Every structure is written in C-alpha cells, then in structure tokens.
Amino acid sequence: MTGDPQLFMRPPSGPCAASADAYHSPRRRERTLRSAYGNLTGLKPSQRRQLERIYRRRVPPHQIVSAELGTFLCEVSRELERQVGVLVDRRGGIDVVVVGDDHHLELPDLGRLRAGRGRFRGLRLVHTHLRGEPLTRDDLTDLAALRLDLVAAIDATADGRAALVHAAHLLPDNPDGRLWQLLPPQPLAYDALDLDALIRSLEEEFARTTDQAVARDGRPAALLVHVAVGRAAPESEARVAELRELCRTAGLQVVGVITQRRQDPDPRFLLGRGKLEEVVLRAMQLGAEMLIFDPDLSPSQARAISDETELKVIDRTMLILDIFARRARSQDGKIQVELAQLRYTLPRLVEKNTMMSRLTGGIGGRGPGETKLEINRRRARERIQRLEKQIKELGRRRALRRALRGRRRLPIISIVGYTNAGKSTLLNTLTEGDVLVEDKLFATLDPTSRRLRFPREREVILTDTVGFIRDLPEELVKAFRATLEELEDADLLIHLCDVADPDYEAHIAAVEKILTDLGLAQIPRLLCFNKADRLDPAEVAARGRRHDALCICAREAPSTRPLLAGIEERLWREDVPVPDAV
C-alpha cells in the first residue's frame, strides 16, 4: 500500500457527485449545540456561537473536507487569528471543534480506541494553518499517536479564503519503513479522492498484518524497545539477544526491535517522545500486542508510557518475573516469586480510572474512608508481610536440613552460573539424575541436591541452583536470598559458563558480581567452560588458558573427568587417580 490517491479515484457520477448539502442531516436543527474545546480565552459570545454552529455541518464520507466547511473554517480562523480544527467521523458528522493558537492545535482526550485488529480511530482531523506551512511534526504526531484516519491542514489566506489542502495517512508495514504517506497538496475543491475507500483499504491491510503476526505460531506478538544509555554497540546487541531469548522462554514472538542511543535516559518516557510515537505506530504496523522495554522502567515512566498507548507495557524485570512465575513448582519457589512480584508491583499501583477513586467508608469508619487504590496497596503490604514470614520459616527449615548434612560431614558443592549454561545437565550427568533440562532461560528455580560418590568411599552433596543473569532484579535477589543461602554452606562452587556464547566474558563478570554482592566471594571456585563441542578445539583451549578454566561438554560423561579431578584436588588436597568414567 503506497497510499497513491490515484488508486482511489471516484467515478465522475453517482451519489458521491452530489453537493455537500445532500449530506446535511434533516434533523440537524434539532441537535443541541455543543461547545468548542481549546483556547477560547478572549472570544466574544458571538464568536463562540459561530464555533458552535460548526457542529451543524456535515462532510460527504468520501471527501476529506467539503468546500463549504473548509471555507467556513478559514473565515473563522482568520477572524480569530487562531488555528481552528474539527474531528470528523466516518459518517461525515462533526465530533469535536477545537481552537488553538496561531501555530498550534491541542486536541482533547479522545478516550480509548475502537475495538478490533488494525482499526483506526474512526476520526479525521481537518484544521487550518495561518502561515502557509504544510503538515507540521505536531500534525503527524497526532496522526500516529491517536491513530487517526487522516490529518489535513488547509492554508487559510490573509483574506480568509482556502488555498491548498495538505493531507497524510498512516501506512501499514512496508519495505521502506515509512510510517505515513503524505498526499500531494490539492485545492479545496479537489473531489477525486475516495477517502472512504482509502481508509477501508488501509484498515484491511493493517488487520491483515496483525492477523499474520498472530497466525505465525499463535504466540503473543511483542515489539522490543532497547534504549542504549551510554552503552557500546556490542553490549547493546548482546542485551537485545538476551531479551529475545527471554521472550522465547516466556512464549512470546518478537516481531521487531527498535533501538535508541542516548547519553541520558528521558526522565518521563526513558526514550524521547518522538521516538515513543514511532514505537507505538511501528507496533501497530507489525501487529504487536505489547511493548517490552530494556532497561527497566521507573514507576512514573511506566505510567507515562501506558498513558500514550493502549498496548501492554512491560519491562525486562517484569518479563523475568513472569518467567519465574510460570516455572515455579515448589512451595518455596512459588512464595518467593509472588513476593518478588508484589514488591515490584507495589510502587506501580496507580489509579487507572475514576471508578477506583470511589470511597469505601461506612458505619464506624472515621472520615471518608480509604480509596480503592489505598486498599489495594494496604492489602499488598499485608500480603508481603505474610510471605516474608513464610519465607523466614522455610529458611529456618532449610537451615536445619543443612545442619543435619553438616553433622554427616559431607562436603557440599554448588553449581552456579549464568542462566542456561548447562548446570542441570551437568548435575544429571555426574549423578545420573533426572532433573528437568530445557534449552530455555531459568529452567531451574528450585535448588536440587544429589549425592556424588568418589573413589575411596568419598561422597559429596552436589547442588543445582537458580541461574543468574546480568542486572539481576533486586526484587528477585531479595526474594531468593533464602534459597541462595544454600550457597553459604558450600565448600566449593563450580562456576559453569557457556563458552560458546559470544558474550561469555560478560556472563562470567555478571556471575562474579552477584556472588560478591551476596557475600560469597570468599568461597573457593572452580571455573568450568561448558559446551566446548560447539567451538573449534583450538579456540576452546585458548579461552580455557586465558581464564584458567576447565573445558567440558556436560552431556558427555568422559569429558567431565578433568572436572572431577579438579574437585578432588580442591576438596582433599592429595594426589588421586582420575576416574575412568562417571
């Protein structure tokens, strides 16, 4: 769809050729006049009545604006020396009359969009320009942000006549990545464009794009928005790749990625307002149902962005919390995930509409009572307190179990590392276990312990732990601290790293930072590179020497012999023969 007006030429005859008067409602005189909106300061009563009379007029549905209405708008606009605009519905009725200043027009709140895939607002904006300029950035912003059918500007000459009409409409997804189509300027009397057919065709194309996005594999479609604040390009690419993997784990399909580089984040929207408008329109073009932001949004930023779009808005931490909520199986895991979600959500509980501001007083209540919002916050805080008590009790029970293991004098080895590094696979290989293994992030949330027997009747407790991730959300660290206490009793940590990952060095640094933050830096560690079979052996060996790491393939038991020898050397500090196999 190019929006070429020649594709929608109307036939020269038929009902569309009738004059604008034919579209006047026979009951228009019975309509109650409504007030105009906007900059009405200083207007005379007669001028206000003149603006109110605009509501009586109608426009043929196939026209952008009738000659009669366009001329009248220009006359009124020049008399007031202010821009005057109207929002016209699909039937040609005037929905809103707006008055601005001499260079700008601010539209009122139009409410929610009409339901349906690919639908536009069902309104077109027609307004005057007093300086002979074409469509401005503000005009195109209103077109995109409000998803208007069309926006048009009429040049109002100094003597109040109408000159050229400039118009633009939105575009569906296209190879050039254009967001809108500027139509050639036309005189007010131009009557060859069938606007009704054009809008119907555009909506069909937008709906088709959305349906294709949904039909690809049935998963919800998401548009990723990455704001690189002072980051280098390689680091941004790694974060976007990780965000894609998080979406795959969460069952989402990524339909597009938009990146913006900034020195400092925008305090209101994280990214600039103009870029946000581009994001919203691009999401519409691609049929996205949600926007996923990286880095995380502050509560005020999340609210401000949500006010600008009807799409669901989440950030990286919310996505990770959702993954944890889906994968939690044990009572410990479910409680910890719920606690993390409540801690993250509490500062984001805000009123979404006037219904939530009703008071709930009653007999025996002091004052007007609490608002619905305050009740939600109080209940969330009470729930957080109950969950914290439960976690403390669960932590006490785990401490008893650890004390029992300690009396048996069995060394404890914990496998730590970046998420999806292969920790559960290694545990299964070494202990012939059956822990769940998936090629997804955060497949393991609950610690799993197994016994591992060495020669000379030696045994250890081998524990699999939740995977780490860079910029691990603080809420998750707090909620899972009781679980991570298992690491404090470890005699040795096996730091497992996916050496085949292009960003493996950043993964190593992220894990080391988290261990330091948890106060575990003093525990002996053995760095082990996994998935060595995915790289050239010479490259694997070079990386191993550079980081003083053992190189294995966790799925192949024979390759773990150096790791077993390293464990024995670290734990018992004596020369022992390397086991033939596990």
Whether the CB-CB separation of 492 and 441 falls below 8 Å is answered with: no
Q: Which two tokens stand for residue 233?
A: 């390009």
- Strand 150-156 relative to strand 458-464, pairing: unpaired
- One-letter amino acid at 439 equals D
Whether the CB-CB separation of 496 and 463 falls below 8 Å is answered with: no
pLDDT tens string 417-467: 998 889 889 999 998 887 777 777 777 666 788 888 887 778 888 988 888
Helix (H, G, I), strand (E, B) or coil at 499: coil
Helix (H, G, I), strand (E, B) or coil at 117: coil
Q: What per-residue confidence (pLDDT) applies to 10?
A: 43
Please state whether 322 falls in left (phi above 0), alpha (psi between -120 and 50) or beta.
alpha
Query: What gap in Å lies between CA 423 and CA 437, rounded to an integer?
Result: 9
> For the chain, which residues score pLDDT lower than 70?
1-33, 112-118, 191, 209-218, 231-233, 350-373, 402, 404-408, 444-446, 478-483, 485-486, 574-582
Q: What per-residue confidence (pLDDT) applies to 325?
A: 82
**Sign of CA pseudo-dihedral 422, 426, 429, 432:** negative
Burial of 545 (0-12, 13-18, 19+ CB in 10 A): exposed
DSSP letter string, 505-522? HHHHHHHHHHHHHTT-TT
C-alpha neighbours within 13 Å on the C-beta side of residue 381? 8
Whether the CB-CB separation of 206 and 172 falls below 8 Å is answered with: yes
Q: Which two tokens stand for residue 485?
A: 């206490």
Whether the CB-CB separation of 310 and 352 falls below 8 Å is answered with: no
Burial of 67 (0-12, 13-18, 19+ CB in 10 A): middle
pLDDT tens string 400-412: 776 766 666 788 8
Whether the CB-CB separation of 467 and 444 falls below 8 Å is answered with: yes
Helix (H, G, I), strand (E, B) or coil at 290: strand
Q: Which two tokens stand for residue 321?
A: 């919390």
Q: What superfamily would CATH give domain 404-572?
A: P-loop containing nucleotide triphosphate hydrolases (3.40.50.300)
The length of the chain, given as a count of residues = 582
Whether the CB-CB separation of 147 and 140 falls below 8 Å is answered with: no
Q: Which two tokens stand for residue 194?
A: 């069938």
Place of tokens 């393939």: 553
Helix (H, G, I), strand (E, B) or coil at 94: strand
CATH fold match for the domains 218-324 and 404-572: yes
DSSP class of 19? -
User: What are the start-end ranges of the E strands in 253-384?
Assistant: 253-262, 290-294, 312-315, 359-360, 370-371
User: What architecture is domain 218-324?
Assistant: 3-Layer(aba) Sandwich (3.40)
Whether the CB-CB separation of 223 and 282 falls below 8 Å is answered with: yes
Q: What per-residue confidence (pLDDT) applies to 484?
A: 72
Q: Which two tokens stand for residue 75?
A: 């006359």
- Cα 280 to chain centroid, rounded: 11
- Strand 221-229 relative to strand 180-187, pairing: unpaired
Whether the CB-CB separation of 182 and 135 falls below 8 Å is answered with: yes
- How many helices (H) and strands (E) are present in the chain, helices listed first? 16, 19
Whether the CB-CB separation of 73 and 59 falls below 8 Å is answered with: no
Whether the CB-CB separation of 333 and 445 falls below 8 Å is answered with: yes
Closest CA to 448 of 432, 468, 427: 427
b/e map 300-323, b = 16+ CB within 10 Å: ebbbbbbeebebebbbbbbbbbbb
Q: What per-residue confidence (pLDDT) applies to 152?
A: 94
Phi first, then psi, for residue 512 (nearest 5°) are -60, -40
Whole-model pTM? 0.71
Q: Which two tokens stand for residue 160?
A: 């109040």
Q: What per-residue confidence (pLDDT) applies to 115?
A: 45
Give me the residue spans of the domains in the chain: 5-212, 218-324, 404-572
Q: Which two tokens stand for residue 51?
A: 């603006």
Per-residue three-class SS string for 460-519 = EEEEECCCECCCCCHHHHHHCHHHHHHHHHCCEEEEEEECCCCCHHHHHHHHHHHHHHCC
Query: What gap in Å lies between CA 387 and CA 370, rounded to an integer?
Result: 24
Q: What per-residue confidence (pLDDT) applies to 380?
A: 85
Closest CA to 209 of 290, 283, 124, 136: 283
Q: What per-residue confidence (pLDDT) applies to 580?
A: 40
Residues linked to residue 270 through DSSP beta bridges, in sequence order:
266
pLDDT tens string 259-317: 998 888 899 999 988 888 888 888 877 878 899 999 889 888 988 888 888 788 999 98
Query: What gap in Å lies between CA 393 and CA 412, rounded to an integer?
Result: 23
